[in-house]
Amino acid sequence: MSNMITVHDLRKSFGSLEVLKGIDAEVKESEVVCVIGPSGSGKSTFLRCLNLLEEITSGSVEIDGEQLTDPSTDINKLRTKVGMVFQHFNLFPHMTVLDNITLGPIKVKELTKEEAEKEALPLLDKVGLSDKADVYPESLSGGQKQRVAIARALAMNPAVMLFDEPTSALDPELVGDVLEVMKSLAKEGMTMVVVTHEMGFAKEVGDRVIFMDEGVIMEEGNPIQLFDNPQNPRTQSFLSKIL
Amino acid sequence: MLDAILQSHYIQSLPSLMVGLGMTLFITIIGLILGFVLGAFAGLGRLSKNKWINGICSVYVEVVRGTPILAQVLFIYMVVSEQYLGFNIDKVIAAILAITINAGAYIAEIVRGAVHSIDKGQHEAGRTIGLTQNQTMRYIIWPQAIKRMIPPLGNQFIISLKDTSLFSVIAVGELLYMGRQYYNVTFAYFETLLMVCLLYLAITIPTSLILRRIERKLDV
Ligand SMILES: Nc1ncnc2c1ncn2[C@@H]1O[C@H](COP(=O)(O)OP(=O)(O)OP(=O)(O)O)[C@@H](O)[C@H]1O
Ligand SMILES: [Mg+2]
């Protein structure tokens, strides 16, 4: 299968602080890659470079055959191919759930309101929130908000979905519903990069786990191997702390 | 008895004071509408990454906030119009201009503060679904920010309304000026100034009360 994401020698600095120190990574079509690592190791920054929420200092990122840093790339168009789900949901509080989901399709893909809503309703159904179309985000639980955020990202028909600790702001009893939705996405063949410490999810759904530390990929491999039999001492020490 | 009241300066001054109040409201409202447009541009300009735009807007805001409005109106009326334009612009226009420029600087800070207070994640979520910078501002940031601007804008209305009293120095027929005209003839200082103050309060107190209600509503 072809590569959906190809990252070569990606570097990112904030001022004099180099946060990503040369990342090489590939994600194949329909692959689910989980990224783990200590706080401050650059996981979020790496993810944010994949849709240019952070400017890339050097190196190259190719998504679905398009170079992100190529000046001729239409970055707004490319971003519609890369869905992103944030730790803190970032739903638009002044819009109903349905409007949150249809805003992108209407303004970016230029669908009519009716067309956009017709596409949005099955997505809401998919995340189990058909009855919430007309409510405002403030009345939803964290888990429901995150599922709306997933539906909002899916409404753009992305080729890749990025998740940055999608369940870590949730009460434990709400985590399951969100993971279920992510699992079903994976089953449908969505290409996913997921920063998460949900070991169970990584083992069950992940095709590969990447362990990042201090801005580099220290180790990567099959989830079961990496979690149960880590090779790198840094990985071993990290896993012993979080397990 | 009734006759005595009707003949008192409290009542006799009212017709001309009401005309003054009308002028005060006219200058304040037109000045603030224009000031909001100016302030919105200047406020967004101060959030811009472009050094020049940012610099010009910052200088404007700091200069206006750092000088008294009385000096500003005299500058507009005496210096700019008399010396450089060579003719007197209408006093009312000078007054409106002064409110626009003065309030514009404070409103710029209100706009900047409100836009700045919107969580960074909102902007990122907008960009992530493919919206352009402008679309993100228009559909996501601005509608949320404008709600937060309402209380401080109402406050600015009260401040600017009171500031118009300074325009009596250039003989604009606003409320305080009309009061001065009246007591210069009648020497009824107490009655006239009491009525002037009551008329200011008749606008400012209800405005404050409405604002407080809006604020409470926006909080929940
Ligand atoms: N906008 C920024 N400006 C300056 N430094 C930043 C910025 N964003 C991130 N950093 C720094 O980059 C480093 C990596 O941050 P990043 O958020 O990518 O880590 P992370 O692995 O996602 O951590 P966590 O598990 O806590 O989310 C940190 O040292 C952080 O302070
Ligand atoms: Mg992070």
Average pLDDT across chain B, whole number: 93
Query: Angle CA(A212)–CA(B121)–CA(A11) in degrees, nearest 5?
Result: 35
Which tokens go with B134?
């402008």
A140: which 2 tokens?
């939803």
One-character DSSP codes across B113-126: HHHHHS-HHHHHHH
Residue B30 has pLDDT above 80, yes or no: yes
- Judge contact between A28 and A4, C-beta under 8 A: yes
CA torsion, points A160, A164, A169, A171, in degrees to nearest 10?
50
Residue A7: what pLDDT? Answer: 97
Q: Which helix (H) or strand (E) holds B93?
A: helix B91-117
Say how far apart CA B109 and CA B61 lie, in whole Å.
8
Quote the distance between the C-alpha of residue A39 and its chain's center.
Answer: 17
* CA-proximal residue: ligand 1, atom 16 (nearest): A42
Average pLDDT over residues B151-164: 96
Rounded mean pLDDT, A217-241: 94
The pLDDT assigned to B3 comes to 87
pLDDT tens digits for A54-106? 999 999 999 999 999 888 888 888 899 999 999 999 999 999 999 999 999 99
Which residues pair with residue A194 across a beta bridge? A34, A163
pLDDT in tens, B89-128: 788 999 999 999 999 999 999 999 999 999 999 999 999 9
Q: State the pLDDT at residue A179.
A: 96
Kindly give the distance from the C-alpha atom of residue A215 to the centroid of ligand 1, in angstroms, as a whole number: 10
As for the ipTM of the complex, it is: 0.92
Is B117 an 8 Å CB contact of chain A? no
Q: What does the pLDDT average to over B181-197? A: 96
The proportion of chain A whose per-residue pLDDT surpasses 70, expressed as a percent, equals 99
State the pLDDT confidence band at B79, using cuts at 50, 70 and 90: confident
Q: Which residues of B touch A90 (CB under 8 A)?
A: 119, 121-122, 124-125
At residue B89, what are phi and psi to the nearest 5 degrees?
A: -70, 155
Closest alpha carbon within chain A to B140 = A92
SS3 A103: helix
- The pLDDT of residue A196 is above 90: yes
Alpha carbons within 13 angstroms on the beta-carbon side of residue A38 total 15
Structural tokens at position A202: 């990584």
- The reply to whether ligand 1 has any atom less than 6 angstroms from the CB of A40 is yes
What secondary structure letter does DSSP report for A28? Answer: E
Atom 3 of ligand 1: nearest residue by CA position: A14
Quickly count: other Cβ atoms within 10 Å of residue A23's Cβ: 22
Query: pLDDT band at A197, cuts 50/70/90?
Result: confident
* Unique residue bearing structure tokens 């409005």: B69
Q: pLDDT tens for residues A145-194?
A: 999 999 999 999 999 999 999 999 999 999 999 999 999 999 999 999 99
Touching check for B143 and chain A: CB below 8 Å?
yes
Confidence tier at B86 by pLDDT (50, 70, 90): low
Q: How many angstroms separate the Cα of A72 from the Cα of each of A75, A224, B147, B204?
A: 9, 41, 38, 56
Q: Mean pLDDT for chain A?
A: 95
B46 touches B54 (CB < 8 A): yes
The residue that leads in pLDDT, B78 or A234, is A234
Q: Do B128 and A76 touch (CB under 8 A)?
A: no
Instruction: Please give the CATH superfamily to which domain B12-218 belongs.
Output: MetI-like (1.10.3720.10)
Q: Do residues B96 and B24 lie in contact, with contact meaning Cβ atoms separated by under 8 Å?
A: no
Contacts of residue B120, defined as CB under 8 A and 6 or more positions apart, other chains included, come to none
Instruction: Count the helix, strand and coil residues of chain A and give each as a percent rounded to the nearest 5.
Output: 40, 25, 35
Work out which ligand 1 atom sits closest to the CA atom of A14: 4
Q: At residue B220, does pLDDT exceed 70?
A: no
Name residues whose C-beta falls within 8 Å of residue A92's C-beta, 6 or more positions apart in sequence: A99, A100, A103, A137, B122, B125, B126, B140, B144
Going by C-alpha positions, the residue among A6, A11, A4 that lies closest to residue A215 is A11
Q: Say which residue the tokens 């985590």 belong to.
A: A175
Percent of chain B with pLDDT over 90: 84
Q: Is A92 in the pocket of ligand 1 (CB under 6 A)?
A: no
Please report, as a single letter, which amino acid is at residue B144: Q
DSSP letters spanning A126-160: HTT-GGGTTS-GGGS-HHHHHHHHHHHHHTT--SE
Read off the pLDDT of each residue in A201-205 and give the average, rounded to a whole number: 92
Question: What is the B140 CA–ligand 1 centroid distance (Å)?
Answer: 25
Residue in A34, A41, A88 to alter for ligand 1 test, most ligand atoms within 8 A of Cβ: A41
Alpha-carbon gap, residue A84 to A76, rounded angstroms: 14
User: Which strands form A208-213's sheet, in the order they lie side by side?
Assistant: A82-85, A160-164, A191-195, A32-36, A208-213, A216-221
pLDDT over threshold 80, residue A114: yes
CB-based contact A220:A211 (threshold 8 Å): yes
Query: Where does the pLDDT of residue B23 fall: very low under 50, low under 70, confident under 90, or very high at 90 and above?
Result: very high
| Domain chopping of chain B, boundaries | 12-218
Q: Which of A51, A89, A92 to mutate to test the interface with B (most CBs of B within 10 A)?
A: A92
Asked if residue B87 has pLDDT above 80, the reply is no
d(CA A23, CA A40): 15
Strands (E), chain A: 3-14, 17-28, 32-36, 58-63, 66-67, 82-85, 160-164, 191-195, 208-213, 216-221
**Residue in chain B lying closest to A77 (CA):** B130
- Under an 8 A CB cutoff, do A76 and B130 touch? yes
- Enter the tokens of residue B110: 């209100």
* CA-based end-to-end distance of chain B: 52
Task: Please report the pLDDT score of residue B68 as a whole number.
Answer: 94
Rounded to whole angstroms, the Cα distance separating A100 from A93 reads 9
